[in-house]
Structure 1
Amino acid sequence: MIRTTRFTKNLCMLFLGVSMAIGCSKGSDISDDIENEIGKEEDKTEEPVTETPEEGAPEETLLNAAEFIKSVDSLTISANALDTIDDSLVNVLSDESEKITFFVPSNEAFTGFLASLKEYTDVLDFDEDLEKEILSQVLKYHAIIGGANFSTELSNGSILETLQSEEIKITVDGDVYIIDTTEIDARITAADIEVANGVVHIIDKVLIPESVLADLFPKSTLINLVNQTEELSLFAEGIAEAGLEDIFNTGEYTVFAPTNAAIEQLFKTLGDDYNSFSDFTNILEKQALKEIILGHAVKEVIARNGLKVGTLATLIEDDSVDVVEGAAGLALQDASEFKANFVEFDIEASNGVIHTIDKILIPQKALLLID
């Protein structure tokens, strides 16, 4: 650097012979400038270069919740569902003046939901006004107004009030789950997707509010439920053979339904002449079959938590069955010496409830035939 400076000064002296006044003045200025620049280079430390965005370049903006849902290929069914109902929910999901949380079902979640319904295979099938209102209630049940609840705020046991007005509950067990009115919880599969007006979480199940549960999943009548349950197919045959199907369609009952294994054991006890209920052929046998079937029903709806030790009148006049303590909890005692144990409780029908048992009940009037 020093040699360069000296060389520059010598050049300045040569220029003096041509024009002293101009040459010296310019040489001095150039020398000073070069020395200043060299000094700056020696003292200068490297600093990061900050790029200034071009004037007028657009700033990156977040989509709102409605826009986000409609932009994602894995959420097309939810987007179609939003288009199917009225504009009220879309307006909420588009409004950037208030923060929201929206649990949006994936396409797989909606496909599973539609597959569980008897009358709907597509969200577009919700085309009547009442059906659109049902779908609207379902979708609003996924929205929380008044705050962006990121996953760090979704703690175990948290309860959130939805736009639909019913509550959902949060449970955390490794993953974050949402509990609705059904027996299956929804799991968050993609969390904390920030949108312009809050946060979106993608879930693997459609949430169902209590208010539309019966509309979406209407319960079968007692007789239809028995007919649809494979493990009760022999009991269904007995009801049909006795001509009692209409009784179980009208009135509200508790039915203690023997399983197929229980009825097969009855046939073994009766001997080779009885392999099915169609073998009850004469008048006395048919009457006994009718009483056996009626002896499994009580003319009131009693869920598991309502079963107490005591006597229950059956549909047979002057007949009853006793609820007793068994080896593994409550059991039923009929006119025989053997108890019937409960297999499954609380199979709900539109007009009653079914509890399955492991032995067919024998009323006193039918006992003589069986003996």
Structure 2
Amino acid sequence: MHLQYLLPVALAAVAAAQNRTLAQAIAGQSSLTTFQSLLSAQPDLVRALSNASSITILAPSNDAFSKFLSTTDGKAASAQPDVVAAVLQYHVLNAEVPGSAFTTTPQFVPSLLTNSTYANVTGGQVVEGVLNGKTVEIYSGLKLKSTVTTADITFQGGVMHIIDNVLTIPPSDAVTAVDSQLTSLAGALTKANLVTAVDDLKDVTIFAPSNDAFKQIGGTAESLSTQQLTTILEYHVIKGTVGYSTLLIGGLANETLPSLSGAGLNILIEDNKVFVDSAQVTMADIIVANGVMHVIGNVLNPDNTSATPNPTATTQSVAFAGATSAANAPFTSGINPTTTAPAAGITSKAAAARQTGAIGAAALFGGAAMIAVNL
């Protein structure tokens, strides 16, 4: 058959795909029966999606929900439909992002999750999308990864991608610190009575020292007064700006930003590395309930705001003159992770492979009859 005959047929097929409803698009995918049942049990979300345009749905497959339901988190919240609603809202992006729009530069796309119980960021909680080779990867809370397995299922209101893991609603700052093996930070926040104060802030950027960073000043850190520790920790928090990596490298590069302590933090880009004062960002973009967290290799010193990095060095000098190190990470007594997330530089294959899905989502998925979704 000649091209002139094939082209109208192809265009007609594209038009038909774009004119189908979301319900028809979902029903046409045999791997989305669980997602269909879940969605049909959320009439408010169904109504919202029926009127939505230019959206992207990240639809977990049946296997993704099965994996999630095998976890403790999935089973524990089986009677919480409000959590299920939040999880589903987090899977709907407030922008139309076809597969071709993802690049090697991360994108942070806001979702429909605006419920302040779960998200305290302006415009809705985000997901991170990035192209890795030919694969689109989606990162959610605790830096957990979902992969797009089927892209560009079009419908009247936008586009849908099937993903292989349920997204994780980003936990609070303190929970994220604990489960990302940033236990010194979590313990220090607890000692300084700052857990609630920091968790309750809106639109934050947190520069989170690793446990090794705290070890470098561990001999001195334990003797700090509560006020001294509070001031130091507040210097690691920017309030009112969610500085994802793309913003740090772009609009905030070589800028000084006010920290929660009042002292200014200097954002520097040197040799394609991101530094805050003299501390290098070693892992970027751990999404938290109220913003974003970046892991850094040194503890920042509000009394040494002029500290600058040596970009060619493997490690940076501590910012506290005369500080002594410790063999063990300080402030970690009684701080126990509830899970192990592939964040904070975890490199073990077991940790990196842990992609269990949305924390705390209800296990309402098993045994539900498939119900038509009227969108």
Structure 1 length-normalised TM: 0.45
Structure number with greater Rg is 1
Structure 2 length-normalised TM: 0.44
Flag the structure with higher helix content.
1
